[in-house]
Structure 1
Amino acid sequence: MGKLTLTTFLSLDGVMQAPGGPEEDTSGGFEYGGWVVPYADEGMGEFVTEVFDRAGAFLLGRKTYEIFAAYWPRHDDPADPVAANLNRLPKYVASTTLKEPSWGPATVLDGEHLQSEVVRVKDGLEGELQVHGSGQLAQWLLARDLVDELNLLVFPVFLGAGRRLFPTGGLPTAFELTGSRTTSAGIAVHTYRTRGRAAFGTFGE
């Protein structure tokens, strides 16, 4: 049985929108796309490679799927685990509008039965069912306790606007830190495993 992992680039104020380029996602009038690029370094590349080495399949939102589909088939390299796995491993797309995915192997998951479909796919895997980007899907998965592990790459930049990974009204959840490192450019990389509901208390006198 596999596990569902979520890997996300975050600013210091929790923004995950359009990390890779100015035109990646301008929804909501977002003007700061490409904020990851000035900090990309060898340590970031090493961690991302480690993550993709563990992939068994990918679960993506429609927008992220289309962004990847426009880029990765044109940058294929069998020796690169990122390109090789994205182009060759199964991709599952959570969408109510995408009917015929052009970048395969890909399967569109029915929105009406998405939760049971995600569980079925994960349980049938050896390795990780990996979510990258896919902001709305990531929030939907977190709200339903479907994420087993988080990889958060926190960049030393404050944006002040944009879609955040953890919105107001999210499900209070406790995590266990299972790994941590810092790259030469100041990217803080943290891996967390879910532990259930958040606990609360009062400091004694």
Structure 2
Amino acid sequence: MGEISVFESVTLDGVLQGVGRPDEDTRGGFGHGGWGDGFADEVIGRFVGSRMEGTGALLFGRRTYEDLLGHWTSVPETNPFTEVLVNQRKYVASRDADTALAYPHSTPVTGDVTEAVSGIKRDVEGTITVLGSGELVRSLHAGGLVDEYVLLIHPIVLGSGTRLFGAADRADLVLEESVTSTTGVVIARYRAK
């Protein structure tokens, strides 16, 4: 049986929107895109690399799937992410049953997402990593399906933007691991109780 691991970059005030690029996610007039620029270092690189090795499958919301894979497959420099993203088994949650998935090893997840993801957890061995996909994460959190949260907490406060948990109900978590990067990013791994 698989476990759901949510892997997110967030600000100190919990914003996950638009971490990578200025035009990544401007919904709601969000003007702080690219806020994660300048924080990457070797500590984060090693941690992310070690986490990707243990992944049995990736789980995305459709918008994150298209953006993330579209970006990393168009980057000309060699990097450790493109090969993993393309070759790993991927599940993509979408409200549209006719969604066309452009990348190999991709399976659409439609209908009741919590029911579908419960089935995926039963069928997949290892870690099922959710990258980005804030709306999907909030649904999985509400459904009690998340086993762990790996948060890269950046030392920045934006004051606006989509937050990871939104108005979620209380959830008690247990800190399993924490590492601090040279740029002040706290990498915290929490287990759901």
Q: TM-score, normalised by structure 2?
A: 0.93
Equivalent in the alignment of 2:47: 47
> Aligned AA for 1:175?
L
The C-alpha deviation readout for 1:14-64, integer Å capped at 9, x for no partner, is 100010000000000000011111211111111111111111111100110
Task: Give how far 1:87 is off.
Answer: 0.6
Equivalent in the alignment of 1:105: 105
Equivalent in the alignment of 2:179: 181
Equivalent in the alignment of 1:37: 37
Equivalent in the alignment of 2:127: 128
Task: Give how far 1:75 is off.
Answer: 4.4
Q: 2 CA distance for matches of 1:69 and 1:179?
A: 28
Equivalent in the alignment of 1:117: 116
Task: Give how far 1:133 is off.
Answer: 0.5
How many residues end up aligned between the 2 structures?
Answer: 192
Equivalent in the alignment of 1:152: 151
The CA RMSD measured in Å over matched residues stands at 1.7
Q: 1 CA distance for matches of 2:109 and 2:139?
A: 14
Equivalent in the alignment of 1:22: 22
> Aligned AA for 1:10?
V
Equivalent in the alignment of 1:88: 87
Task: Give how far 1:78 is off.
Answer: 9.2
> Aligned AA for 1:99?
T
Residue ranges of structure 1 left out of the alignment (5+ in a row): 196-205
Q: 2 CA distance for matches of 1:79 and 1:37?
A: 17
> Aligned AA for 1:43?
V
- Report if aligned partners of 1:77, 1:83 keep a CA contact under 8 Å in 2: no
- Report if aligned partners of 1:3, 1:123 keep a CA contact under 8 Å in 2: no
Task: Give how far 1:76 is off.
Answer: 8.6
Q: 2 CA distance for matches of 1:102 and 1:70?
A: 9
Q: 2 CA distance for matches of 1:76 and 1:176?
A: 40
> Aligned AA for 1:177?
L
Q: 1 CA distance for matches of 2:95 and 2:56?
A: 24
Equivalent in the alignment of 2:59: 59
Q: 2 CA distance for matches of 1:96 and 1:164?
A: 21
Paired residue secondary structure (2:140): helix
> Aligned AA for 1:104?
P
> Aligned AA for 1:159?
L
- Report if aligned partners of 1:39, 1:187 keep a CA contact under 8 Å in 2: yes
> Aligned AA for 1:178?
E
Larger Rg: 1
Task: Give how far 1:171 is off.
Answer: 2.0
Task: Give how far 1:126 is off.
Answer: 2.0
**4+ residue stretches of structure 1 with deviation over 4 A?**
75-79
Residue ranges of structure 2 left out of the alignment (5+ in a row): none
Paired residue secondary structure (2:74): helix
Q: 1 CA distance for matches of 2:22 and 2:79?
A: 28
Task: Give how far 1:84 is off.
Answer: 2.1
